[in-house]
Structures are given as C-alpha cells and as structure tokens.
Homo-oligomer: A and B are copies of this chain.
Amino acid sequence: MYYTDKKLQFPVRVEQPNPVFARALQQAIGGIEGEIRVALQYFFQAWGCRGPAKYRDMLLTTATEELSHIEMLATAVALNLENAPLSVQEDVARDTIGGSVLNGMDFRHILSTGLAALPSDANGVPFDCSHIYATGNIAADVVANVTAEGSGRVLAVRLYNMTDDPGMKEMLSFLIARDTMHQQQWLAAIEDMGGMAASLPVPNSFPQEEEQNEFSYAFVNTFIDGVPPSEGRWTQGSSIDGKGEFSLREAAPLGEEPTLAPPRPESGAQAEQMMDKPRA
C-alpha cells in the first residue's frame, strides 16, 4: 500500500520560465529514458519478484522513490509553462530573441493540458508500457535497470547542459546524483548474488552443456571483401564469465537455402504461386 505527504522530494524552482525547455523536460517524464518508465519497471519487477525477499524490498522501495521524481519533473514542466504564449498575438508581442516561442513549444501544453505536463516524451509521443522490462529473472532485471539509469543519467546531463536556469540546474543535479546511486545499486545487487561472472550467462539456471558450445564464445565476423575485424577485448582472451576463451570466426552459412511448401489452394495465395512453373 502507498502513501504520500504532498511535498516534493527535492525543491523545484524555476527562475526564468521557458516553455521550450518544458518540451525538453518531457523526455525525462514520458521518454523511454524517463521516470514513468523506471517507476513502473521497478514496481512490476517487485510485484512479480519470486525468490529471496530482499530483492523485492529493494525494488519496491526504489520504485516508490521514482514516483517522487515524476512528481518533481511534472512540477518543473508546469512552472516552465507559466506565462507561455496562448495565442498568435501574444507570441508576436514577446521578446523574440531566438524566434517564435510558439514554434518551439509542444502545442499540447496549450491545447490539451492547460499548461501542465503530459505523460509523453519531447516529441509528444505518449509513454507506452511495453518499455517496462520485468522478466522474472532477477539478473536480467537488474541489468535492465542499470540500462535505464544509464540512459536516464545521460538524458539528465543533456538537460542540465541545455538550460541556464539555476533552479533547473539544481533540480537536475539532484536527479543526476540519484541516477548515480541507482546505477551503483543495481550493480551492487549483482555483486550480492555472487558477482557478474557467477551471474552469467543470464539465465544461469540453464544447463550450458545443452547449448551449442562451439558458438558460445566466438565473435562472428560478417565483414566481407577481406575486411579484417577490429581487434578488441572481445576477440581474444578469457571470456568475462571465465568459462571460455574468446575466438574469431568468419561468418559462413551452416544451413541451406530454406524451402517452404507451396501455398495451399484455400490459403488466399495467387494461382501463379501454385503452378509448377509460372505463366510465361
């Protein structure tokens, strides 16, 4: 069960409202790198978590925190929209350094929300929950969470660099710090489970002798025309899980050209597809 105290986790302050920056901030709310995503992802991982309770606990407590981040950003969008132009006339009358403000706005901030945030990204594309990664495999999930926090922190840094508003920079520097911690935290869960090598390959519950081992540590080179592959850690040396040796293998087909049966008469195909040889 969930509770609130109506306050913000961290102060949200806008010195100079900028309705175009409000559009940029939307990416951190409803973008794939945004906070709706992490909140719901951690919630669904927690609610479906099977196994030791401590992983569920960690997921649940952080999911709840992320909800507070959406709230902060939604507030930031609304504050950046105070005084936004609502009409062509207002827009033209503004100080126009940098061009028309209306041009750069998300029109739905005017038309659909009355100057408030949307659960959409910077292009107005609504967040869609297919981005909630929750596999039921705890290692796959925490790595997905490192990914979410990695792209999330990249985004927060870019927003930080984009604005010159001190209030916004302060809020973003808090979110950046939390993204630092959350990257650490999910990797700490891997360590808690015995470390990266022990966790690999995900899922580590599948008996590896049943996979085609010849291909388990081979880097396949699909370059042709004698183009040599770039050398890197991935073509030589011991594998990361310590269970194999990296090798290099030229791409070559092991299968034949596939053959499908001809279409059946009642399957809606074209008559020519059912002829031994097509009409000349």
A129 touches B127 (CB 8 A): yes
Partner of A9, one of B1, B9, B208, B270: B1
Among A3, A7, A230, residue most surrounded by chain B Cβ atoms (within 10 Å): A3
A137 touches B122 (CB 8 A): no
Bound complex: CA of A201 vs CA of B222, how far in Å?
Answer: 33
B143 touches A48 (CB 8 A): no
With contacts A50-B273, A51-B272 known, what are 16 further pairs, Cβ within 8 A? A1-B5, A5-B224, A31-B111, A31-B112, A32-B133, A50-B114, A98-B100, A113-B136, A120-B123, A144-B150, A147-B147, A161-B268, A170-B212, A173-B210, A184-B200, A193-B272
Is A38 interfacial (CB-CB < 8 Å)? no
Q: What 0/1 readout, one digit per residue, does chain A (260-280) give for beta carbons within 8 Å of chain B?
A: 111111111111111101110
Chain B positions within 8 Å of A251 at CB level: 1, 3, 9, 64-65
- Enumerate A183-213 residues with CB–CB distance to B below 8 Å: 183-185, 187-189, 191-194, 196, 198-206, 208, 210-213
A24-B111, A98-B102 in contact; A7/B257 too (CB < 8 A)?
Answer: yes
Partner of A119, one of B79, B129, B153, B264: B129
Q: What 0/1 readout, one digit per residue, does chain A (20-37) give for beta carbons within 8 Å of chain B?
A: 110110010011110010
Partner of A222, one of B4, B177, B208, B240: B4
- Enumerate A224-260 residues with CB–CB distance to B below 8 Å: 224-225, 227, 229-234, 239-241, 244, 246, 251-258, 260
Tallying the copies of this chain within the complex gives: 6
CB<8 Å pairs between A and B, sample of 30:
A2-B64, A3-B251, A6-B257, A8-B257, A20-B103, A36-B40, A50-B260, A61-B222, A65-B220, A72-B255, A88-B163, A96-B97, A111-B155, A115-B136, A120-B123, A125-B125, A138-B269, A147-B147, A157-B206, A161-B268, A176-B210, A177-B216, A178-B215, A180-B216, A184-B201, A185-B234, A192-B232, A193-B278, A194-B279, A204-B270
